[in-house]
């Protein structure tokens, strides 16, 4: 009788204890993917208003490189490589050399990387807007 009680207690204990596979499955967390952080990378329609040469329209093409953002500014099929481009707390700063006007051009655009419209200035005085292409 004593053996029967011990055997019954062991059977109950083993029935209440999860198996190794079940406990491993219970502690495994499903893999989650984090969405990509917003970025300025992509194509932007840029308008620089009321310059001495009139309103200038072009396309800003940005990509994420090994060292951060990089890209080109394209106006009337003339492609100019950006010298520098960086995201700031306020928005986006970029510079390039314009051989057409023989000058360094700086753009300062305000807005978050998740926004579709950026507003700022070029050369510190010309109203500039950039609209993300879809």
pTM exceeds cut of 0.95: no
pLDDT in tens, 93-134: 999 999 888 999 999 999 999 999 999 999 999 999 999 998
Contact 40, 63 (CB under 8 A): no
DSSP 12: H
Domain 42-132 has CATH 3.40.50.300: no
- Pair of tokens at residue 89: 């707390």
- Model confidence pLDDT, tens digit, residues 58-100: 999 999 989 899 999 999 989 999 999 999 999 999 999 998 8
């Amino acid at each position: 009788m004593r053996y029967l009680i011990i055997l019954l207690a062991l059977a109950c204990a083993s029935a209440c204890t999860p198996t190794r596979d079940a406990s491993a499955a219970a502690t495994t967390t499903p893999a989650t993917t984090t969405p990509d952080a917003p970025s300025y990378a992509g194509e932007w329609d840029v308008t620089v208003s009321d310059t001495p040469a009139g309103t200038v329209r072009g396309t800003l093409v940005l990509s994420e490189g090994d060292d951060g953002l990089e890209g080109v500014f394209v106006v009337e099929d003339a492609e100019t490589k950006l010298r520098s481009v960086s995201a700031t707390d306020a928005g986006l700063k970029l510079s390039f050399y314009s051989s057409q006007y023989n000058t360094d051009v700086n753009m300062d655009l305000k807005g978050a990387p998740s926004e579709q419209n950026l507003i700022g200035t070029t050369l510190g005085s010309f109203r500039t807007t950039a609209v993300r292409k879809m």
